Amino acid sequence: MDRNSMIERVKAEMPEKRWKHTEGVMATAIVLANRYGEDAERAELASILHDVAKYWPTVRQGNVIRDNHLPIEVLAYDKELWHAPVGAWVAENEFGVMDCGVLDAIRYHTSGRKGMTKLEKIVWLADYIEPGRDFSGVDAIRALSEINLEEAVLAGLDGTISFLIAKGKRIYPLTIDARNGLIEEIKGG
């Protein structure tokens, strides 16, 4: 599918505001890809599709997870997590994306995971710092994103984990694994 048809189809799945967010993620991911030596086209493709399932009714998201044998344990955690594995499934099965690295960047764009690839880190971070985000602390992470990719993702994960703790929510184990993995990567053990 060509880029423009894909964009039109993704746009149709979400409200205008979420599409603006998606455009912000696309632009930010391209900048990060160029800065850190990743393929900008793959970063943009993952960004276009990353929230494609975000506005699907949760029942529909849950059905995709159950019917296609996606990791079922996510159903026990916050529904906000579901659209990421569902999005990867949609990208592969409805948009014909075959690049596993792109599919994984979509799949792990919310939770993160241990041993994230450069592309996964870029999409995760672009989602966190795109120009439409305005929570406290985001500017410091934007600044960090210009210096060190891993440090910036780690700071973002710390922000998300603190936010979840403040709300009394559970934390999906992949998010803890992602944080532990980055600390090992940065500190070398």
CB of 140 to ligand DGI, least distance (A): 18
Smallest gap from Cβ 81 to Fe ion, in A, equals 9
Instruction: Name which of Fe ion, ligand DGI, none residue 42 binds, using a CB cut-off of 5 to 8 Å depending on partner kind.
Output: none
| Alpha-carbon gap, residue 120 to 187, rounded angstroms | 20
CB of 142 or CB of 185, closer to Fe ion: 142
Contact 106, 91 (CB under 8 A): yes
CA 33 – CA 49 distance, rounded (Å): 17
**Residues 49 and 87: beta-carbon distance below 8 Å:** yes
What is the amino acid identity at position 117?
Answer: T
Q: How many CB atoms lie within 10 A of CB 109?
A: 26
* Closest distance to ligand DGI from the beta carbon of 39 (Å): 22
Among 13, 38, 44, 51, binds Fe ion (CB under 5 A): 51
We find the least distance from the C-beta atom of residue 45 to ligand DGI, in angstroms, to be 17
Q: Binding residues for ligand DGI, per CB under 6 A?
A: 21, 51, 54, 77-78, 80-81, 84, 109-111, 127, 160, 164, 169, 171-172, 175
Structure tokens at 12: 């149709």
Binding site for Fe ion (CB under 5 A): 51, 127
